[in-house]
Amino acid sequence: MTYCVGIKLDAGLVFLSDSRTNAGLDAISTFRKMMIYEKPGDRFMVLLSAGNLSISQSVREVLQVEKIPGVDAAGQPRPTTIWNAESMFDAARVLGSAVRRVYDQDGPSLKAAGIDFNASMIFGGQIKGEAMRLFLVYSAGNFIEATRETPFFQVGESKYGKPILDRVITPATPLEQAAKCALVSMDSTLKSNLSVGLPLDLLVYERDRFASDKIVCIDEHNPYFHMIRATWGQRLRQVFESIDDPHWDQDPTADKGGGRPAHPLLVGGGRFEPMRKITHPGERII
C-alpha cells in the first residue's frame, strides 16, 4: 500500500508520497511513487500513484508518449500529449487515456489471474498561460478536480492523515505551513499503518515558476522529519492532558468543593439514555 497527498493553494502546490510497496509480509520493497514531467519555462507537472505497482509504473511510462486526438488553431489535426497540451485539463485527459490503454493491454490478464485493476493517481501542475490545477484520477481513467472547498487529494491509506489536513489546510495556507501539515499527516499514517514507509518524496511548487528547487527525499535520518515525529507526538499528549477529564457527578450543578464543572458530561433529562435490561434475583433468563 502507500500514502500520497497533493495540496493546491493560492501560492502553489505541495506533493508528498511514501515509497513502500507491500505484497505480503515477506515482500516489502521500496519504489518511488512520485514522477515529475517538466519543460522549464513552459510546464511543470507532478504525478503521484497508488495501487498496483505494475499498473502505475506502466501508466507512468505510457504517459510520456500517449496521444489523444486534437486540432491546432488552424483546425489541422494535432495529437495532444502532455508535452504540447494547452491546459492541465487536456494533460489530465491524456493521463486518463494512458490509464485506459494499460487497462486494455493488461486488464484481461489481470482479471484471469484474479487481480483487480487497481490504480489511483494525483496529477497536478501548471502550464504556461493558465492557472495551477490539481486532479484525482481513478482506475477507469476518469478524474475530478480540486476546488477551493476541497483543496487537497489523498490516495492510498488516507484515513489516518486526513484529520490534520481537514483542520489546517485552506487555499490561503502558506506553502511552508502546508508542507509541514503534509509531513504531520504522513507521520500520523506511518504511526498507524505498517504498509506505509520511508523514504518520502516531498515537492513544493511555487505558482508561475514552471520549475522547482524544493524537492527532497526524506529518510529516517532527516533532522526536520525527525523533529516533526518527536514534537508532534509530544504536543498532542500535552494538548490531550490539558483537556478536562469527564465529570460523572449525578448532579453536575452541585458544588463538590472543587467548584461547579464548566463542561459537565452527565446532564439531566435522560433523553438519550441507552436501552438497558436489568435482571433481578431469581429472575429466569431464557
**Which of 108, 127, 126, 107 lies closest to 117, judged by CA?**
107
CA torsion sign for 150, 151, 155, 160 is negative
* pLDDT value, residue 217: 97
Please list the residues that pair with 36 across neighbouring strands. Answer: 46
* CA dihedral sign of residues 96, 101, 102, 106: positive
Q: At what angle do helices 223-242 and 175-192 cross, to 10 degrees?
A: 80
User: Could you list the pLDDT tens digit for every one of the 286 residues in the chain?
Assistant: 799 999 999 999 999 999 988 755 566 788 999 999 999 999 999 999 999 999 999 999 999 999 999 988 788 899 999 999 999 999 999 999 999 999 999 999 999 999 999 999 999 999 999 999 999 999 999 999 999 999 999 999 999 999 999 999 999 999 999 999 999 999 999 999 988 999 999 999 999 999 999 999 999 999 999 999 999 999 999 999 999 988 776 554 555 555 667 777 777 665 666 777 788 787 676 6
DSSP character at residue 71: B
What is the structure's pLDDT at 176?
98
* 8 A C-beta contact, residue 159 and residue 166: no
Q: Say how far apart CA 81 and CA 71 lie, in whole Å.
A: 12
The grid coordinates listed for 51 are: 495501487
The pLDDT assigned to 186 comes to 97
Contact assessment for residue 285 and residue 279, using Cβ atoms and an 8 Å cutoff: yes
At residue 117's C-alpha, the angle toward residues 51 and 185, to 5°, is 20
- Whether the link from the prior residue into 199 is cis, omega within 30° of 0, is yes
Residue 76 burial (C-beta neighbours within 10 Å; 0-12, 13-18, 19+): exposed
In this predicted structure, what is the pLDDT of residue 253? 52
Torsion angle defined by CA atoms of residues 229, 231, 233 and 236, in that order, rounded to the nearest 10 degrees: -140
Domains assigned to the chain:
3-238 (3.60.20.10)
Tell me what pLDDT residue 252 has.
Answer: 47
Take residue 114 and report the three cell numbers written for it: 484474479
Q: What is the pLDDT of residue 281?
A: 81
- Angle formed by the axes of helices 53-63 and 88-112, nearest 10°: 140
Whole-model pTM: value is 0.90
DSSP-derived secondary structure letter, 77: B
